Amino acid sequence: MTSDKTYSVEEVRAGAPADAPEELVAWVTEQANLAKPDSIYWADGSDEEWDRLTTEMVEGGTFTRLNPEKRPNCFLARSLPSDVARVESRTFICCEKEEDAGPTNHWADPAEMRATLKEKFDGVMRGRTMYVVPFSMGPLGGPISQLGIEITDSAYVVVSMRIMTRMGAAALKLIGEGKPWVPALHSVGYPLRDADGTTREEVAWPCNDDKYITHFPETNEIISYGSGYGGNALLGKKCFALRIASTMARRDGWMAEHMLILRLTEEATGKQFHVTAAFPSACGKTNLAMLQPTIPGYKVSTVGDDIAWMRPGADGRLYAINPEAGFFGVAPGTSYHTNPMAMDTMKANSIFTNVALTDDGDVWWEGIDAPLPDHLIDWLGNDYTPADAADGKKAAHPNSRFTVPAEQCPIICEDWEAPAGVPIDAILFGGRRATNVPLVAEQYDPAHGVFIGASVASEVTAAATDVKAGSLRHDPFAMLPFCGYNMADYWGHWLEMQAKLGSKFPKIYQVNWFRKDEEGHFMWPGYGDNSRVLDWIVRRAGGEVEAIDGVTGRYPKIEDFNLDGLDIDEAKWNKLFEINPAAWAAELDDTEEYFTQFGDKLPAEITAELGKFRERIAAAQA
């Protein structure tokens, strides 16, 4: 038997920064007495702390320091094959009534889940340090921003949170001034010692096969157990900024969305236009957020690549901030061709997870500019040669990531940290759709816009482990894994926000960069050429161009759309907008069936939109 250390409030207080308020010290003490760490460390977010923790992780084998001449202050981590992505099947919304979580979430009774987690956390940090990590989602002190404290036993999480959030002493100071904060408790679930004194070897990537990613929206709490990876462990991101924030937003009249934010500036006039866009995971959101226009006259700057918090401003318009401070982007496919700005962002001060390592200490992944070298160490830590590639093995995991400070992005918007946010002019919804969905369609009216968001379906990619890649899945508003409450109530909230803001609510567009021809080739070049779609949307907003009424929405006229320099003639254009009424009738049947699971909660407006859609299909068939 070992005797576990008992922490008194006085002892924790003595080790805490002076700014830590009593209620925080009490919470940390309670968690310490449950998890039983060997020590408690309060993160301050300093350079010295980053250097110390990264060096410790290099010594411990969690990090490999990359070649400082090629990638200064950059590190590579390799997780375990069992811990490479978000685990949706182990993600729970714990609220009193199951119907408040809704049919698309995994629900758990809060009291039962608390009891389960209490057992899991009992002694879970034996032999480890408990890190207390204060953070702000959104600019420090901003009116839309929120504060949190993550307790974690992972130094990888601490340094990642330093990139992804405003982490450290300044956030704690605001908490000390009495601002509300969200408690977020995390453990990798791998104690180094058991209650009976049995010890366990440290490993480079501690985690547990049993995982719980839990949210208590009624009390604004997050508890995560068993994973050290991404959205399972960096609790400011999906857990707080989406699942918990979406429920806060509904209560308080704002919106927490899985959306990038970009600014388009018309160079001739300096006029600015702001767009938010929701796409399911790994549909190129970071690429769109950092788009390099291929048509003259516009400049794009990036506000955020993943999450938008939006609130009505005094002028009745919708204003958005990016609650994050970094980008956690998918590495494979990222190159100077697909996203030069992301490539320049990750030149220094970055963490790479599950990419391959070159012999000269740099990173490599499928789709990067450099050709496959003769030798690599793959994401599993094994030798990798072109013969492995020929066998179909990947050197980098398909969901491998770069974690980079947003401020290093060469086109970060000059006021990306404006506390009140930027006014939004248009909202885009997209997915990966080889068939059916045209390049761009404008809403008929606001309720049709919500219908567009609600009926998003996309081909599945690698960002979650437990959904079958390649299949089509419904992902309403790209929020399926991220909405902290009943999805139908969420649609109701959108309709309410639209009613509140009236004509000032941004117009909604459906986009699809991924349509394929009969030979399976993409029909639209995508990437920088998506600026052509944005250009049409801007000109629609300015009332310069008309649109044609179609089955899924209003489409551009070819003569109004900038196709200069593209190999797209009228026949190809028509294919990009082709509507097969029978295929759409089948898609609508499927959508209607999907909606039935929400029962009475489905807003009447959405049912009405289904009816109008069927009328448009019938008219097209006539």
Residues annotated as catalytic (active site), given as ranges: 283
Q: Which two tokens stand for residue 145?
A: 């921003």
Residue 482: DSSP 8-state: T
Binding mask 209-248 for ligand OXD (x = CB under 6 A): ---------------------xx-----------------
CB of 84 to Mn ion, least distance (A): 16
Distance CA 307, CA 303 (A): 10
CB of 280 to Mn ion, least distance (A): 8
**Contact status: 463 vs ligand OXD (CB under 6 A):** yes
**Contact status: 79 vs ligand OXD (CB under 6 A):** no
Determine the interface stretch with Mn ion among 116-124, 305-313, 393-401, 565-573 (rule: CB under 5 A): 305-313
The residue type of 345 is T
Cβ-based neighbours of 69, under 8 Å, separated by 6 or more: none
Distance CA 615, CA 63 (A): 58
The residue (of 162 and 258) whose beta carbon lies closer to ligand OXD is 258
Q: How big is the chain, counted in residues?
A: 622
Three-state DSSP state, 573: helix
Q: Is 181 exposed, middle or buried (0-12, 13-18, 19+ CB in 10 A)?
A: buried
**Contact status: 281 vs ligand OXD (CB under 6 A):** yes
CB of 576 to ligand OXD, least distance (A): 26
The residue (of 86 and 166) whose beta carbon lies closer to ligand OXD is 86
Number of residues that bind ligand OXD (CB under 6 A): 7
Q: Which of 254, 32, 230, 4 is nearest to 142 (CA)?
A: 254
**Contact status: 306 vs Mn ion (CB under 5 A):** yes
**Contact status: 88 vs Mn ion (CB under 5 A):** no
Which strands make up the sheet holding 363-364, listed edge to edge?
363-364, 356-358, 376-377, 383-384
The residue (of 149 and 260) whose beta carbon lies closer to ligand OXD is 260
Distance CA 321, CA 145 (A): 8
Q: Which of 530, 599, 73, 59 is nearest to 338 (CA)?
A: 530
CB of 85 to ligand OXD, least distance (A): 8
Determine the interface stretch with Mn ion among 298-306, 316-324, 497-505, 582-590 (rule: CB under 5 A): 298-306
Distance CA 463, CA 231 (A): 10
**Contact status: 326 vs ligand OXD (CB under 6 A):** no
Distance CA 530, CA 316 (A): 29
Q: Which of 272, 242, 255, 243 is nearest to 144 (CA)?
A: 255
The residue (of 230 and 484) whose beta carbon lies closer to ligand OXD is 230
Q: Which residue's beta carbon is nearest to the bound Mn ion?
A: 306
The residue (of 86 and 433) whose beta carbon lies closer to ligand OXD is 86
Tell me how many degrees the CA angle 263-264-266 measures, rounded to the nearest 5. Answer: 140
DSSP 257-271: ESEEEEEEEETTT--
Residue 463: contacted member of Mn ion, ligand OXD, none (CB under 5 to 8 Å, by partner type): ligand OXD
CB of 513 to ligand OXD, least distance (A): 17
CB of 326 to ligand OXD, least distance (A): 12
The residue (of 213 and 447) whose beta carbon lies closer to ligand OXD is 213
User: Which of 150, 306, 366, 609 forms a contact with ligand OXD (CB under 6 A)?
Assistant: 306
Chain contacts with Mn ion (rule: CB under 5 A) = 306
Chain contacts with ligand OXD (rule: CB under 6 A) = 86, 230-231, 281, 306, 328, 463
